[in-house]
A and B are shown apart, each in its own frame.
Chain A
Amino acid sequence: MIKRLHQRGLTFKMIIYIFTSIAIVLCVILVVNYKYSQKMLRKNIEESARNLNQSIVNRVEVVLTSVEKLPRAVAHLVEHGQYTPERLKNVIRLLVKNNPEIYGMTIAFEPYAFDKSQRYFAPYYYKSGDEIKYASLASGSYSYLDKDWYIIPKELDKPHWSEPYYDEGGGNIIMSTFSAPIYKTIDGERRFIGIITADMSLEWLQQIVNSIKVLETGYGFTLTTTGQFITHPLPEVIMNETIFSVAEERGYPSLREIGREMIQGKSGFKKPDYKSLKGGQASWISYSPIKMNGWSLGIVYPLDELLNDVRHLTIMMLLLGLGGLIFIGFMVALISNSITKPLRHLDTAAKDLAAGKFDIELPHIESRDEIGRLNQSFIAMQSALRDTINKLKDANEALEDYSRNLEAKVEQRTHELSQKNKELDASFKNVKTLSDIGQKITSTLNLELIFNTVYENVNTLLDATTFLIMIHNEKEQQLECRLAIKKGERLPLYIQSMNEKNRLAVWSAEHREPIFMNDVAKESVKYVTFETREATEETISSLIYLPLIVEQRLIGVISVQSYKKNAYTQYHFDILQNLATYTAIALDNAFAYEAINRANRELKEAQAQLVQSEKMASLGQLTAGIAHEIKNPLNFVNNFSELSIDLTKELTEEIDRYQDKFEPKMMDYFHEVLGDLEHNVRKINEHGKRADSIVKGMLLHSRGKPGEMQKADINNLVQEYLNLAYHGFRAQDSTFNVKLETNYDATVEPINIVPQNLSRVFLNIINNACYSVHEKKKERGEKFAPVVSVTTKNLGEKVEVVIRDNGKGIPQDIIDKIFNPFFTTKPTGKGTGLGLSMSYDIVVQEHKGELKVTSEIGEYAEFCITIPKNLA
């Protein structure tokens, strides 16, 4: 199709393209217009349908209300007035007579409820033609007590509209009965005494609903609470069918859905898959409830009729569009024909030119548009072609001469080429070897392995009497010669500072440029000032230095050196340059690997420390809670025990006063028991106090609020608490003695710390040190000289405090536990096991420092505290 289109004329193409685009645009406009109109229409219809429904429902409810009013009025009369049966009957009869919409009325009472002399009283008045007739429902076999119209309002305790029914007289009138209960207040209690009803013909309902006219075939209908049709334009469905039976028979599930919503008392507007019973068209249904009796009103809108106008408009637009399209087609044909006509002339002329007729007359075109210009160009081309053809003929002759000489030249060139090819082959082999070596070098992260591989390969490829690999240490500003080989022997490591400008290695590293010399004695002056030494057999005469660079970072320098002059060619230089590149990468990788390993190790250490800190913190919170809870019972233990001591004493005194009344044996017994009792209570008090001091320690430990940071002199603080601990110990045990050694670094300036907390750390650790040396002294006796030493040191960013004793030392298996809360090695009652745990928290968590311990059993224990200076 497309191919065929290509072969067609310009006119045809233009008509097709323009025609198709306009047709598409037209179609889109039509579709959008149709859809939009439909949407607008639906919105409008929905709005007016709601209004129509409401107004009909209002009309129906007005009638229903007017009927309801009468029985309600009678019920009210009976409840509040005194009526004789005759008078009551008269009221009912008059009401039936004077109200045209009422067909009949009954008033029926509970047995003996109205007239004490009659069991049943139920007069019924109804219209028959123009007369009002009377019947007593209380007579004969008819018992109204269990009739629906009586029992339903009685049980529901509220007025009720009955389902519609056909009039019993055999007529075709549909009726509905309104029943309302009657009450009377007897003995102060409001009791049900009977029912008043009014029968109503539903003809008026049919009239109202049938009067609804929507377009040609639209109509209204009414449903009871069960979905039965009461009014409908088709008489055969009235009282015979329900909306559900219709939905079932004709297979309209959505009609069933609408029926369900209608009998539930909802209102709505829906388009069902429904063909209206009358007219058989697709329709919309609008519905709303008659709230008074639960019936529902529906109005059917035939869809086709609604959409008629929209369709008319669309068809008209379509016709107009088609007319326009035909007109455009005609115009396009006209324009394109005016363009193509001169083109066809040119076409014929071009064909003639191609056939070699350069002298034909070309058509003359007057117009100055594109076609006119094309024609002029064509004329110019014609003359140019004529000239060119002539020149070509001359050139062709010259070419034939030249080709005869060419063959000889080709032979010569072929020979040269095969030569070059051989050379290329050799160098390819070199490249291959180099790349293999490179792979080998870069395949390891082990420094030694890299060095060895590089050396071995360099040695086989070129003269490497001396071979060096130097690593650049940026921090220290020096070159570290990690690999130095001289005549196959490995030399020890040595270092050149980057400041030694007279060194070739330093020059190469600093300038990041290679050095390549084949006569060192002469050429080296270009780089450095050398003292010229007398040449011996072992003087370096040729050398290459290459900087090792990766991503513009200087890794180091590689060098080969020889005693011979002119030992290296450009080829050697290139090879070494190649190897240097690989070496640099391999070294860089190896260093990076080392750095990663180091970082990993540090990370693991930090993690372990973090876990420890976290454990401590949660334990602290827990202990604070427990400690407070324990304090309450302890309060009783301590106070009651103290009281009991007093009471025991009092009792003892009292007994002593009356001792002449007891036998001496008895007195001894009393004293013994009371003595024991007092002793026991004292013990309880003592241990209670001990528990109290433990709890106090725990609370100090877990004090939630951090202390205040302030500038303090660590040296002073340590000295102060060293004295305090020493004198404290002396006060407890006069046999205690220790040599105190202090070594304070005077450059330690005041730093930010929490003095009261940190002092507790010093006190704890010094106390432990004193305890340890004292215990050792007790074991070893005179020959042991106890020493506790304190050293402070300024470490720049940090301050270090070392407290060391030459006491019993700490076994390795215990060192791991000494910072755990409640861990102590002191005898029961001497230590709470909280001192070091608390110290750890203070140093590590509060001061972000470190607390480390080292020890050798039986020799020494050393606690090293480091505090950073820049704490906020």
Chain B
Amino acid sequence: MDSPSRPDGDARTRRGPDAGGLVLLLLPALAVVWVLFGGGLALGLVQALGYLPVAGLGELSWGHFARVLTDPDFIRSLLLTFYIAGTSTSIAAGISILTALLLASLVERSRVIHFMFQVPLTVPHLVIAVAAVFMLAPAGLFSRAAVALGWIQTSADFPLLINDTWGVGIILTYVWKEVPFITMMILAVLRQSGNALLDVGRTLKASPWQRFRYITLPTIFPAVGAASLIVFAYTFGAFEVPFLLGRTYPMTLPVWAYKNYSDIDLLARPEGIATGIVIALVVMLAVVLAQMLTKAARKRGVIL
């Protein structure tokens, strides 16, 4: 009987530092993360629990969390944030799947296309948000182009895409920014084994649709899932784009947290931090799910 394959067999026999040694080696880097991130989170939690001597608050309680969670505005903001993060992530994932499939063979042949797709990854969200204002605002580039082409009579006829009810501007900005990221993740999987599996599918009599349904989708699912969860986590916790392109009411949670935190009334600060901690929990949950998906995919031999 053949013994089960052990892809990590080489790693097991390779000499290297043990777990304790590894922790020691990583300690300088870990200390910075713990102090800056963990310390900040702990300080925020203490303040969210009501310990803010500068504002005359010294008693620890869950009161601020309770007030935040029962505030109708919080629920509206939470729903709006979920809507924007969920919609933009879903649209970006859908476009990314189609783009990756179209580009799969092209990218293999052309490094230029590969490079072009990496460029948007380096552009900050804030720059894209400002560009969205210039293009999508009622007096923006598109509106004026539509007037010039005679599609609309005046700029006022142009649909409201910035600071609008449905967060179109925010969603478009996120979609533009996140499509390359998810596409690159999918392309990495397709380049690794996707095309070879499709060839197998062809010789095993699968039609083009069957190959997409039974080979491509299951192959890229972990990559799409993990990338989408990361994108969701980012868009759920991002502040600058909805701050620039969103409405004043209801606000997304990060904007709401920022407003409370930076309120002139110091008593609003614990509620702002409590909101931030709720955001952090949702983001961490998404990241943990992404990690689980990645781990499950790696166990199956898919490299992400």
Q: Do A and B bind each other?
A: no
